[in-house]
Chain A
Amino acid sequence: MKKETEARVIVFTSEAEMPMMPASVASTLYNKTGSWRYMRPLYKNQTPPCNAACPAGEDIVMHLQLTAQGRYAEAWETLVRENPFPGVCGRVCPHPCESECNREYLGGAIAIHCQERFLADYAAAHHLSLPTTNVPQREEQIAVIGAGPAGLSCAYHLRRMGYQVTVFEAGEKPGGMMRLIPEYRLPKEVLEREIAAIIALGVEVKTGMRLGVDLALKDLQGYAAVFLAIGQSVSRRLDVPGEDAVGVLHGIDFLARVERGQKVDLGKKVAVIGGGNTAMDAARTARRLGADVTILYRRSRAEMPAIDEEVHETLDEGVKIEFLRAPVAVLTANGRVRGLRLTRIELGAPDASGRRRPVPVAGSEYELEFDTVIPALGQVADLTFLSAEVQTERGRIITDEKTATTRLPIFAGGDAATGFGTVTAAVGSGKRAALAIDSFLRGVERPFPDLAQNVQVAPRPHDPNVVRFEDLNTAYFEEIPRPPQDQRPAAQRVTTFQEVNLGYGEDVALAEARRCFSCGTCNECDNCLIFCPDVAVLRGPSDDEPFVFNYDYCKGCGICVSECPRRAILFAEEIKFNDQ
């Protein structure tokens, strides 16, 4: 009897056909045990928590999978399909993905930002060009206002879709706020390379063109659509006496001057006011310029918006942080800063942001001497050039979930629309706008999750359910610690603007990628195939369909579902499929 692949039902009709003893003449393939099933397993990738948390809509699990196979170029391509700034984001993103990573409970979250940076550095070292898309060129011209992360991301994605894109930038160079991130955190070379790669795709960037000054909205009527990504350029004021004295230098202005290579005389003692990343950047930059730096923050450590690692690194570098302090006046002498009058703060009831409101303690004021005061309290957008048709609210341009403003075909994104956010959020916002503009111009419907959720240009089929730790079968995972990233020692750091974090080498990146649980995403661990008692799991035809169920025979025992380490198989009531 040959090995069978087809079901054969045997009916004996003559003596000669039937063996003399009960000997088999066919296989049990005749018996379609799939009819027993009342629950059906389904290969359906679910949403990994990192992907769900990424403001730029990166497919993190997939690039980690590719890295884990040593397929670095493909991993990088997967990454840049969603975000053209992996080198930037890998260095400066506060990585909300890692905060959600299920690996946290078994050795620490995957160092996703290091992986991203590794891939960007790999691409640079191997001179990889951004992948081009093979789509027909479109005639529509699109204007993007602002060459920050939102504007460039939008321009990048529109260009990939075949649109002709011109970016108008007020500054001398494209980059927006990214340009103000100090060299020791984000080497300019990395930024320039990623911007140049976008321009190389055929995006036109016109610098020195400030909307409202060098051009007006009405000048853009020839464009099929306009994307406003003007950012927030006006620093918030301290609103205390003496604020305009010489020696008061707002954080972004300070960082911009350093970036441009201008000499800044800080004196000896510098106060930085604020608790965000700009405050940390200003403080650490001042420290590198030789100053004795104190950060004054009106809330406590827990409320600080700066990235945790940044705060640690800042402290390591000898910057002092005083919590629950707020300036009540800038003390001046001869029009120059000589110090600050400060008040102690108590935290009261939570405010609208959910953080406890700072309340000055009566009679607690005291003075400290400073040569320079750097307020870093955030920025607001300058929206004065907008006509009334583009409505705003509390300093932000109003948009719907598709980034459309109240006047089409004007779209808006980035900080000017969403409020202050990260580079990565701006990248996501720009991508969302690109997709929205494309939908608008082509008149096609595209699903847009609400603004709180990310959006991808190349989404894999997946279930929106986000996989949590308790959904995993942890029997298949060992506790493996997250490898630390090499760092320059603090003592060395304060003497130089050289990069602090040194990233992962290939070996570490490979091992780290393999530490990924690949939540909700099949990586062909083979468990379903191996544990099926009924040989009803077969290898599939493609990477997109690595396994298929043979529903003719699957009895619906659910072993594959429970033994899938990563919850990439759903279990659904069979009755739902009766019509198929």
Chain B
Amino acid sequence: MRKVVTGNYAVSWGAKLARAQVIAAYPITPQTSIIEKLASFCANGEMDARFIKVESEHSAMAACIGASAVGARAFTATSGQGLLLMHEVVHWAAGARLPIVMGVVNRAIAPGWSIWTEQNDTLSQRDTGWIQFYCETNQEVLDTTIQAFKIAEKVFLPAMIVLDAFVLSHTSEAVDIPEQAEVDAFLPPYRPPLKLDPEDPRAFGALVLPGEYMELRYKMQKAMEQALSVAEEVDREWGERFGRSWGLVEPYRLDDAELALVTSGTVTGTSREVVDALREEGVKIGLLKVRLFRPFPHQIIREMLAGVRKVAVIDRNISFGDSGVFAQEVRAALYHADKRPPVFDFVAGLGGRDIVPETIREIVDYTVTHDAPTEEFTWVGVKI
């Protein structure tokens, strides 16, 4: 079934098709329509789920933690400030090894108030132990939401599906909505080996002494590492079943490229057009979209960028005192490569400022005209 839906509704449809059993959420712009849709699905019986209308995002995640610990498939969605309020229990979900799935609409952080897109909210959750996907289209959002459950439940780590505020969340696209039976065939019910169960009573999350803590963290990291291959496998299976795959990263016209743009989220779509236009003009440019940010696919990125002469990373985020976060990761990934192309970092589009084709051309021009970066990163479009 093809439907024209917003990015937010694509999230809602994904959660519905994944048969999420407990949804706990708190409204925040621009996430609201995700949960409105889900509330409507629950109310009209299209979903057999309990929707807990909690009093905060912190409680939303806490309720999902409780639900998931009992063995239910739990889902929530939030954005910006809400995600930050949640932060403590975002860690908790991962440490408790609960495969909760969360849709996050990227929103810039206050003050001052901003409801527009920027990745600082999700990137500040980088070290929580969550799997993170950054999506480019509404179809990808829907597909990734369902995939995320499967990956999360295989490695027992929670997963976030990230989409840009408004640019994707409130933009309608035609989306192929799979049949429930096909999704059911793809995603079996969640059956954790250990759960809160009076028949097998255990204490979860007790005090861990220094003698054991590190081993538990070791296991989390191993699970994250495993998530790379699992995500690849799940995406391939998805492709086999539904005719679409998204990859952990997606190279675009990168084969003979001398300059590679590295993008995430909706900037990718705009960048594709600029790449096409520049190719017309004879510029050997390609693009690498990073879809899976955690676990970070170092090896693949290393291989993909091995042949290029320059790399330009577009970061819709900033790590104050350093640079854009994606650039940090890309540079780190390339450090162990035999040939290390210079990595230019461009911080652009903060607080929802538009990144238009001209912005990307500006970035390309800068990269082409400089042999190497002269600073850690370059501000794009700053007016002062």
User: A and B: direct contact (Cβ < 8 Å)?
Assistant: yes
User: Could you list which residues of chain A lie within 8 angstroms of chain B, going by C-beta atoms?
Assistant: 1, 12, 15, 18-25
CB neighbours (8 Å) of A12 from chain B are 212, 215
6 CB < 8 A contacts A-B: A18-B216, A20-B97, A20-B216, A20-B219, A21-B204, A23-B202
CB distance from B129 to the nearest CB of A (A): 11
CB distance from A177 to the nearest CB of B (A): 72
Say yes or no: is B382 at the interface (Cβ < 8 Å to chain A).
Answer: no
CB distance from B63 to the nearest CB of A (A): 18
Report whether A21 and B205 are in contact in the complex, using a CB–CB cutoff of 8 Å: yes
Report whether B203 and A24 are in contact in the complex, using a CB–CB cutoff of 8 Å: yes
Q: Which chain B residues numbered 180 to 208 have a C-beta less than 8 Å away from chain A?
A: 194, 200-206, 208
Say yes or no: is B156 at the interface (Cβ < 8 Å to chain A).
Answer: yes
| Cα of A1 to Cα of B202 in the assembled complex, Å | 7
CB neighbours (8 Å) of A20 from chain B are 97, 156, 216, 219-220, 223
| Cα of A66 to Cα of B202 in the assembled complex, Å | 45
Kindly identify which residue among B200, B216, B219 contacts A1, using a CB–CB cutoff of 8 Å: B200
Say yes or no: is B85 at the interface (Cβ < 8 Å to chain A).
Answer: no
| Cα of A19 to Cα of B212 in the assembled complex, Å | 11
Say yes or no: is B357 at the interface (Cβ < 8 Å to chain A).
Answer: no
Report whether A22 and B216 are in contact in the complex, using a CB–CB cutoff of 8 Å: yes
CB distance from A359 to the nearest CB of B (A): 84
Query: Which 3 A-B residue pairings sit nearest by Cβ, starting from the closest?
Result: A24-B203, A21-B97, A24-B202
Given the known interface contacts A15-B219, A18-B219, the answer about A23 and B204 at a Cβ–Cβ threshold of 8 Å is: yes
Say yes or no: is B95 at the interface (Cβ < 8 Å to chain A).
Answer: yes
- Chain A residue nearest to B200 (CB atoms) is A1
Say yes or no: is B47 at the interface (Cβ < 8 Å to chain A).
Answer: no
CB neighbours (8 Å) of B203 from chain A are 23-24
Kindly identify which residue among B156, B201, B205, B223 contacts A22, using a CB–CB cutoff of 8 Å: B205
B213-224 Cβ-contact flags toward A at 8 Å (1 or 0): 001100110010
| Cα of A21 to Cα of B193 in the assembled complex, Å | 11
A22-B205, A23-B202, A24-B206 are known; give 14 further A-B pairs, CB within 8 A: A1-B200, A1-B201, A12-B215, A18-B215, A18-B219, A21-B156, A21-B204, A21-B216, A22-B206, A22-B208, A23-B203, A23-B204, A24-B203, A25-B202
Report whether A21 and B206 are in contact in the complex, using a CB–CB cutoff of 8 Å: no
Q: Which chain B residues numbered 153 to 199 have a C-beta less than 8 Å away from chain A?
A: 156, 194
CB neighbours (8 Å) of B123 from chain A are none
CB neighbours (8 Å) of A1 from chain B are 200-202
| Cα of A12 to Cα of B216 in the assembled complex, Å | 11
CB neighbours (8 Å) of B208 from chain A are 22
CB distance from A73 to the nearest CB of B (A): 48
- Chain B residue nearest to A24 (CB atoms) is B203
CB distance from A13 to the nearest CB of B (A): 11
CB distance from A492 to the nearest CB of B (A): 71
| Cα of A20 to Cα of B206 in the assembled complex, Å | 13
CB distance from B207 to the nearest CB of A (A): 8
Kindly identify which residue among A18, A19, A21, A25 contacts B95, using a CB–CB cutoff of 8 Å: A21
CB distance from B350 to the nearest CB of A (A): 37
Say yes or no: is B96 at the interface (Cβ < 8 Å to chain A).
Answer: yes
Report whether B96 and A21 are in contact in the complex, using a CB–CB cutoff of 8 Å: yes
| Cα of A25 to Cα of B212 in the assembled complex, Å | 14
CB neighbours (8 Å) of A24 from chain B are 202-204, 206
- Chain A residue nearest to B97 (CB atoms) is A21
- Chain B residue nearest to A3 (CB atoms) is B201
- Chain A residue nearest to B195 (CB atoms) is A23
CB distance from B64 to the nearest CB of A (A): 16
CB neighbours (8 Å) of A19 from chain B are 194
- Residue of A15, A19, A25 with most partner-chain B CB within 10 A: A19
CB neighbours (8 Å) of A25 from chain B are 202
| Cα of A328 to Cα of B54 in the assembled complex, Å | 104
CB distance from A3 to the nearest CB of B (A): 8
CB neighbours (8 Å) of B97 from chain A are 20-21
CB neighbours (8 Å) of B216 from chain A are 18, 20-22
- Chain B residue nearest to A11 (CB atoms) is B211
| Cα of A24 to Cα of B201 in the assembled complex, Å | 9
CB distance from B139 to the nearest CB of A (A): 33
| Cα of A1 to Cα of B198 in the assembled complex, Å | 9
- Chain A residue nearest to B220 (CB atoms) is A20
CB neighbours (8 Å) of B96 from chain A are 21
CB distance from B204 to the nearest CB of A (A): 5
Q: Which chain B residues numbered 226 to 279 have a C-beta less than 8 Å away from chain A?
A: none
CB distance from B42 to the nearest CB of A (A): 29
Report whether B204 and A22 are in contact in the complex, using a CB–CB cutoff of 8 Å: yes
Q: Which chain B residues numbered 90 to 104 have a C-beta less than 8 Å away from chain A?
A: 95-97
CB neighbours (8 Å) of B202 from chain A are 1, 23-25
CB neighbours (8 Å) of A18 from chain B are 212, 215-216, 219
- Chain A residue nearest to B201 (CB atoms) is A1
| Cα of A22 to Cα of B206 in the assembled complex, Å | 6
CB neighbours (8 Å) of B212 from chain A are 12, 18, 22
CB distance from B126 to the nearest CB of A (A): 21
CB neighbours (8 Å) of A22 from chain B are 95, 204-206, 208, 212, 216
- Residue of B96, B202, B204, B212 with most partner-chain A CB within 10 A: B202
| Cα of A24 to Cα of B206 in the assembled complex, Å | 8
- Chain B residue nearest to A18 (CB atoms) is B215
CB distance from B91 to the nearest CB of A (A): 13
| Cα of A8 to Cα of B208 in the assembled complex, Å | 17
| Cα of A26 to Cα of B122 in the assembled complex, Å | 38
CB neighbours (8 Å) of B220 from chain A are 20
| Cα of A25 to Cα of B202 in the assembled complex, Å | 7
| Cα of A20 to Cα of B95 in the assembled complex, Å | 9
| Cα of A285 to Cα of B95 in the assembled complex, Å | 94
CB distance from A30 to the nearest CB of B (A): 13
CB distance from B223 to the nearest CB of A (A): 7
| Cα of A19 to Cα of B194 in the assembled complex, Å | 9
CB neighbours (8 Å) of A23 from chain B are 194, 202-204
| Cα of A25 to Cα of B193 in the assembled complex, Å | 13
CB distance from B2 to the nearest CB of A (A): 40
CB neighbours (8 Å) of B200 from chain A are 1
- Residue of B95, B204, B208, B220 with most partner-chain A CB within 10 A: B204
CB neighbours (8 Å) of B204 from chain A are 21-24
CB neighbours (8 Å) of B205 from chain A are 21-22
| Cα of A21 to Cα of B96 in the assembled complex, Å | 6
Given the known interface contacts A1-B200, A1-B201, A1-B202, the answer about A21 and B194 at a Cβ–Cβ threshold of 8 Å is: yes
CB neighbours (8 Å) of B201 from chain A are 1
CB distance from B134 to the nearest CB of A (A): 27
B13-40 Cβ-contact flags toward A at 8 Å (1 or 0): 0000000000000000000000000000
CB distance from B213 to the nearest CB of A (A): 9
CB neighbours (8 Å) of A15 from chain B are 219
CB distance from B85 to the nearest CB of A (A): 24
| Cα of A289 to Cα of B194 in the assembled complex, Å | 93
- Chain B residue nearest to A28 (CB atoms) is B203
CB neighbours (8 Å) of A21 from chain B are 95-97, 156, 194, 204-205, 216
- Chain A residue nearest to B157 (CB atoms) is A20
CB distance from B295 to the nearest CB of A (A): 16
